[in-house]
Structure formats: C-alpha cells, structure tokens
Structure 1
Amino acid sequence: MKLIARLVLGIAAGIGIGLVANQFVATLMVTIKDIIGSFIFFMVPLIIVFFIAAGIASIGKGGGKLLGSTVLVSYVSTILAGLFAVTVAMFVIPSLGIADAGADAPSEMAGFLDLTVEPVFDVLTALILAFVLGIGIAATGSTKLHGIIDEGQNIVELVIRRAIIPLLPFYIAGVFAEMSYDGTVFATLGVFGIVFFLAIAMHLIWLVVQYTIAGAVNRNNPFSLLKSMLSAYVTALGTMSSAATIPVTVEAVKKNNIRDSITNFVVPLCANIHLSGSTITIVTAATAVMHLYPGLEFPGFVGMIPVILMLGIIMVSAPGVPGGAVMAATGILTSMLGFDEGAVALMIALYLAQDSFGTATNVTGDGAIAVLMNGLQKKDAI
C-alpha cells in the first residue's frame, strides 16, 4: 500500500509542478522522465528472459499428472479471465465517454540530455531465448545453467525492488508534469477512478466464478470456500506479492479440508503461474489507455486474443515482485499494441494503483485451483 501512496504523491507532485513550471523546470522533469524511462525499457528484455526461463525450468522439475493438470488449469483460468475482462471493458469503457475526453499526447518536449540506453535485445528475441533456456534446462536437468538463471532472476527482482519500483513515482511525476505543462492531464485523471472500480468489480465476479466451478467439482459451498480464503486476500492486499503470501494461502486452503499433498504442491506453483487478477487489471487498463491515448487503436476482441495468450506466458513468475506483472507485460504492450513511452507510463500508473487488488485475486484464485484439483483427484480415485 506504501507504493500506491508514493504513486499518488508522484502524480499529484507532477501535476502541481507542471501547472506552475517554467520552461526550465518542465524540461528538467522531462529529462528525469527520459532517464528513468530509458532504464526501465532497458530492463524489460532481461525481466522477460530470467522470469520466464526460471519459471519454465522450475515447472519442468516436477512430474506426473498433477503438474500438467495444474499448469493447464492455471493457464486456462488466466486466459479466460483476460477474455472476460476485454469483453466487459470493450463495451463499458467506450460508453463512459473516455474517447471523447479530448486528451492529447504530450508535445514530446526534449530533455536536457539525449540519453538513450538500448536494450541488449528486443522483446521477441528475449521471449524466444527464455523459452529455449527454460525448456532446455527442464529437458536436460542442467543444474549449473538452472543456477545461473535463478541467480539472474534474483538479480532482476532486486533491481525491480530496489531501483525500478522506488524510481517509478519520479518517472510518473515526470510524465504527469509534462502532460500538465501541456494542458493535457485533466482529461486523463477521470480514467483512473473508472478503471479502478471496473477492474475490482471484475476481480470479485471472477472469484465467484472460480469458486462456483471448484465448489461444484469438489461438492462444496463456494461462498464458504471464499470465506476461508479471506485471510489470504487481506494479506495479499498488504504484501502485493503472491509469493510473499504463500504461507498464509497454504493455511487458508487447508481450512477448506484440501489434502496437504494437493495444497503444498498447488499453492506455491500457482503463486508463480496463475495470474487471473493481474490479467484482468492489465487488460482493463490497456483497453482504457487505447481508448484515451491518441495514436493508439483498440484492435477489437479478436485482436486482443493473441495479446491475452502472450500475457499468460510472459508474466510467469512475475507476481512474486510488487509491480512485476506490469513490468513483464510492458514488452507485449509495446510490441503488439504499439504503446509508446507515454502510453506505457499511463499503463504503469493505472496498473500500480490497483496492483494489490489484482494480487489478492491471484492469491485467492490459487485456492480455487487447489479445491478444483482436489476434486479432480477424488474423481480419478473412484
């Protein structure tokens, strides 16, 4: 929650500075934005490589029907959540008049420094490399390479926690200062509240859907199951990390009389691969940005399907880091939806404002998958 407070402070500070700034101050804020933004975009391919490669390699350690079933169910849940979100967002958001808000793109002011840090490789190269490494490690059982990938993931997570996340409020402040200086900011602010409440409403609806299905398979009352998961939901709101909430999630799932062998396997695995809440948030926020931001065009339901399919893969292991999901998704937003730096900044701001709720939905949904797998195991045993 501290991150949300810093984000709000950054937005407010940026707007205030932009309203009273002279040319020098405005250019200084743009310079800060450009430097931080260049670093963020430099890190995106590295995030993709190490997060996805480590996630695939770790999944490959396991074996048996339970592993395959859990991975499949988690991915299907994530994709269906994204399809649900885009279906709702594509009808609700345009009806709210966002596209008519009159927002203009910032005037692309030049900063004091022309500093561009080129990424080591592009997003597509990073994605292919991650798959090659992850699948190769899983197939060969290479402990040395697995260790390197794990260490690389730890370093990237450290950079996100200690550098990118602390710098984001300043980056957002620079973006909003530029928009405010140009007079384009107020048309944007109303979108935040709309997307915030729309996404949370869809989170709650999706949880009910998940637990209704899981309860039917396991022959439980879905609302009783959800009640048992309240401690995990509240904890995730504070930690903003699926991984950090694992101990609480395990205890909450066990209250629903799920076998220990199922709980202890499914919950840690789903904490890294089940992203229904994060996907709902990203898809909803991206849809809003595409309707608001000049130069972007919403590709329609069919056009969003490949994006959602990729989101389910590219965010593997990202929920362990607050804000990690949107950072990992940045590559998809730029390469498949044409987001530029200003659009990405709006996207990050929209996402982080409700990151804790998306994480709480991820975590609570993990419990539904554990219940579902428990029920499926019972049927197989009959």
Structure 2
Amino acid sequence: MQEEVLAKQKRRIYMKIKIGLVPRLIIAIILGILVGQYFPLWFCRGIVTLSGIFSSFLKFVIPLMILAYVTMGIADLSQGAGKLLLITVCIAYGSTLVAGTASYVVSSNLFPSFMSPDALDQIAKTADNSVSGYFSIALPPLLDTLSAVVLAFILGLCLSNMKGKEIGSDLYNTMKDFSGIIDKVLHTAIIPLLPLYIMGTFVDMTYSGKTFAILSILWKVFLTVICMHLIYITIQFFIAGTVAKKNPITLIKNQVPGYTTALGTQSSAATIPVNLECAKKDGVSEQIRNFVVPLCANIHMCGSMITITACATAVCLMNNLPISIGTVVPFIMTLGIAMVASPGAPGGSIMTALPFLYMIFGKEAGDPNGPICAIMVALYITQDSFGTACNVSGDNAIGVVVNEINERLFAKKA
C-alpha cells in the first residue's frame, strides 16, 4: 500500500516538473547550436544520423497524415464542403500573392542602402557544407504529398455528399479509424521526438557555418526579412481576430508552439501535429482544423514567398540585374501555384522555385545550375526556418477565418 502511495507521489512530481513543448524545442535549438559549435565531428554525425532516421519516418507519415486529416475534415462538413474548400484555397493563394508583392516593395526600397557587393560570395562558401550521418534508412512514402492532397479532396468531398445517400458508411468509418491510428502515431511518437529532429537540424547548420553566415554578413537583410514575417503574421491574426471577434493577441500567443516547432524543423508539413493543437486553442472546430491546417501546410506559402522575393531582390541588386514590379508579380503568381506540396523538406520552396527564377534573373543568369541561382539558394536556406514559421502561423489565421465563415453560413443550415 505504501509503495502505491509513493508511486502516485512520484507521478504527481513528474507531472509538476514536466517540461512543455515550447521549452523543449528551445532547449533543442540551443543544444543543437552548442553541439555544432563545440563538439567534435564524430559526435555531430551521431546526432545528425538519429535526426535523419526520424526525418525519414516523418516523411513517410506526412502523406498519410494529410490523407487522414484532410479527408475526415472535409467529410465531416455536412454543409458547404466544396465551397469551404474553395474559400480556403482562394484565401491561401491571395495571402501568398500579397506577401510576395509587399516583400518586393519593402526590399527594393530598403536593401540598396546596406548591401555589400561581395557578401553573397562569402555566404555561398557554406552552401555545400553539410554534416552527413553515419548511415541512412530509405523509407519512401506510399504516395507523395500532392497525390495525398488530391486523393483527400476526392474522398472527402465524395464522402461529404454521398455518405448515407448513395453509399453506406463503411468507407467513412474506415477513414475515421485510420485517422485515429495516425493521431495515435503523432502523439506517441512524432511530437515527443520533434526536439531530436530540431536538434539535428541545428547541429548540421551550425557545424557547417550556415547558422552564423547570414548574421555576420547580411544581418540587416536577415533582420528585415524576419521583421516582414512578424509584421505579416500580426496583420493576419488581427484580421482573423476582427472577423471572428477574438482577441488577436491571444491568437498570437496560442501560435507560439507552432512557430517554434516550424523554426526548428524548417518544414510546414512536419509542424502539422503541433499546429493542430494551436488551432484547437484558437477555438477552431475539429472538422475545420483537420482539413484547413494540413491543407494550408501545402498551399499557403506566405513566409516562403516573402523570403524568396526578398532574396531575389538582394541578388539582383548585388549583381546589377534589372528587377521591377512587372517581372516580380508574374513570378509570384506562378510560384504561388508551383510551390504547392513543396514543404515536405527544409528548403523545398527554393528548390521548387529554381526552374522559375529566369522570370526575374533572365535566361542566362537564371540558369538553375548557374552561380547566381546557387547563391540564391545559399541565401534563402539561411532564412528558411523563419519563412516556414510564418507559413504555419498564417495557416492558423486562415483556420480561424474559415471556421467563422462555416459557423455563419453553413453550420446554422445543418
């Protein structure tokens, strides 16, 4: 009896001292920087190996997560599923366009005053530096993220309209059980191991010199881009708060875990589990958050667009390449579509953008294998995590708006 009492007391103490997700993520970032800066290569490679194994598992689960959550989120919308889906896509695309255009306006006016002609050459030296793991495990996903999104659209919309009318409930119940399995995997395996993934990312970046390259050379550009991200996040949540009649400051506070996770993982898709919890705190209904958050993780690229546009502007200014709003807007409109489903891995957005950089740099300078594009990639990668954090934060702002639209237009009719 006494042993049981002692065991209960130990559990209570553990619950009291249990560290929350955000502190664990911050600790992982700090440890990653310290290990990458001061520990030997063999130790860094060990951390990167473990992080790489988890990354392979995460990439395998992400399409299944999208399929499960988006399908059930749309299927549970008894009214206006197709309309809400269209509204979400339009808001996400519009936000991406506005973000890119605003980034060009700010960058073209501020950057000329503090650009260094040889700064990008110094940054480019870290582009190919990377810490490799001792081994890797090949775990190819069953389907890619774009296929998962399209299949989820088809299944979700059909189940929403046909369930109990033209078809039975067997497929719906199967997808519901499948969603429960994925949810179990996320909360018992993926979320607890995210700090390890984040630590490995920062070990690699710090040891190879990427983390401090941008700060030591183009820190003004770096700070300007981060300020644009934060301002855009604030505007989005103030708009969402106004539409939904909620305190925008509270909404921003609720987003801190999602922002921090994205900062470490550099992947919008990898942040979905945490972002779903943030949306829950925002009061977004389960069916809305289950389709808006995973969907926007693949189509809402406002932060990445801000970073890419700012980096492209910086590269043009440093290399005396002509750039104007007339060339930037078509590039932004094209990239807003091309970047769909690119967030599966760090740097996915810039790799997707490479074939389209000729629209800004010209055919010769815009060669994807040329030095200008290589410098563009190096400059972007050093700021990628902040763009991703802006992406996922905007996803939840959209979720709040779509949830309010659903309650006003469709929920009352159900």
- Helix, strand or coil at the partner of 2:36: helix
Shift of the alpha carbon at 1:202?
Answer: 1.5
- Helix, strand or coil at the partner of 1:102: helix
Shift of the alpha carbon at 1:106?
Answer: 5.1
- 1:203 aligned onto 2:233: yes
Tell me, in whole angstroms, the C-alpha distance in 2 between the residues paired with 1:242 and 1:116: 28
Tell me, in whole angstroms, the C-alpha distance in 1 between the residues paired with 2:224 and 2:43: 31
1:242-285: per-residue Cα shift (whole Å, max 9, x none)? Answer: 677668748xxxxxxxxxxxxxxxx6665445569979984214
Picking from 162, 181, 187, the partner of 1:155 is 181
- Bigger CA drift: 349-358 or 78-87? 349-358
Match in the other structure for 2:25: 7
Tell me, in whole angstroms, the C-alpha distance in 1 between the residues paired with 2:382 and 2:76: 33
Match in the other structure for 2:303: 284
- Helix, strand or coil at the partner of 2:76: helix
Equivalent runs, 1:194-343 vs 2, <5 Å: 194-207=224-237, 226=245, 228-229=246-247, 233=251, 236-237=254-255, 249=283, 270-272=288-290, 282-285=301-304, 287-288=306-307, 300-307=331-338, 310=340, 333=349, 336-337=352-353
Shift of the alpha carbon at 1:175?
Answer: 1.9
Go from structure 1 to structure 2 and tell me whether the alpha carbon gap of 1:71 and 1:120 turns closer, same or farther (over 3 Å shift).
closer
Match in the other structure for 1:179: 205
Question: What letter corresponds to residue 176 of structure 2 in structure 1?
Answer: D
Picking from 126, 148, 152, the partner of 2:148 is 126
Match in the other structure for 1:350: 386
Go from structure 1 to structure 2 and tell me whether the alpha carbon gap of 1:364 and 1:307 turns closer, same or farther (over 3 Å shift).
same
Shift of the alpha carbon at 1:111?
Answer: 1.8
Go from structure 1 to structure 2 and tell me whether the alpha carbon gap of 1:83 and 1:172 turns closer, same or farther (over 3 Å shift).
same
Tell me, in whole angstroms, the C-alpha distance in 1 between the residues paired with 2:172 and 2:348: 25
Equivalent runs, 1:11-30 vs 2, <5 Å: 11-30=29-48
Go from structure 1 to structure 2 and tell me whether the alpha carbon gap of 1:45 and 1:245 turns closer, same or farther (over 3 Å shift).
closer
Equivalent runs, 1:24-39 vs 2, <5 Å: 24-39=42-57
Match in the other structure for 1:83: 97
Go from structure 1 to structure 2 and tell me whether the alpha carbon gap of 1:279 and 1:146 turns closer, same or farther (over 3 Å shift).
closer
Question: Retained in 1: the 8 A contact 2:22–2:257?
Answer: no
- 1:102 aligned onto 2:123: yes
- Bigger CA drift: 148-157 or 330-339? 330-339
Picking from 192, 195, 219, the partner of 1:169 is 195
Go from structure 1 to structure 2 and tell me whether the alpha carbon gap of 1:290 and 1:184 turns closer, same or farther (over 3 Å shift).
farther
Go from structure 1 to structure 2 and tell me whether the alpha carbon gap of 1:161 and 1:84 turns closer, same or farther (over 3 Å shift).
farther
Tell me, in whole angstroms, the C-alpha distance in 2 between the residues paired with 1:28 and 1:132: 42
Question: What letter corresponds to residue 132 of structure 1 in structure 2?
Answer: I
Shift of the alpha carbon at 1:186?
Answer: 0.5
Question: Retained in 1: the 8 A contact 2:56–2:138?
Answer: yes
- 1:112 aligned onto 2:126: no
Match in the other structure for 2:171: 145
1:168-191: per-residue Cα shift (whole Å, max 9, x none)? Answer: 222121122122222222125668
Picking from 398, 401, 404, the partner of 1:365 is 401
**Identical aligned residues as a percent:** 22
- Bigger CA drift: 96-105 or 167-176? 96-105
Question: Retained in 1: the 8 A contact 2:29–2:202?
Answer: yes
Shift of the alpha carbon at 1:28?
Answer: 0.9
TM-score scaled to structure 1, two decimals? Answer: 0.64
Question: Retained in 1: the 8 A contact 2:93–2:299?
Answer: no
Shift of the alpha carbon at 1:196?
Answer: 4.7
1:352-381: per-residue Cα shift (whole Å, max 9, x none)? Answer: 75688546634653576479759xx9xxxx
Tell me, in whole angstroms, the C-alpha distance in 2 between the residues paired with 1:30 and 1:248: 35
1:49-72: per-residue Cα shift (whole Å, max 9, x none)? Answer: 21222223223xx23xx6665554
CA RMSD of aligned residues (A): 4.8
Rg: which structure is higher? 2
Q: Count how many residue pairs are aligned between Structure 1 and Structure 2.
A: 324
- Helix, strand or coil at the partner of 1:185: helix
- Bigger CA drift: 159-168 or 12-21? 159-168
The runs of 5 or more residues in structure 2 that have no matched partner are 1-18, 259-274, 317-327, 356-377
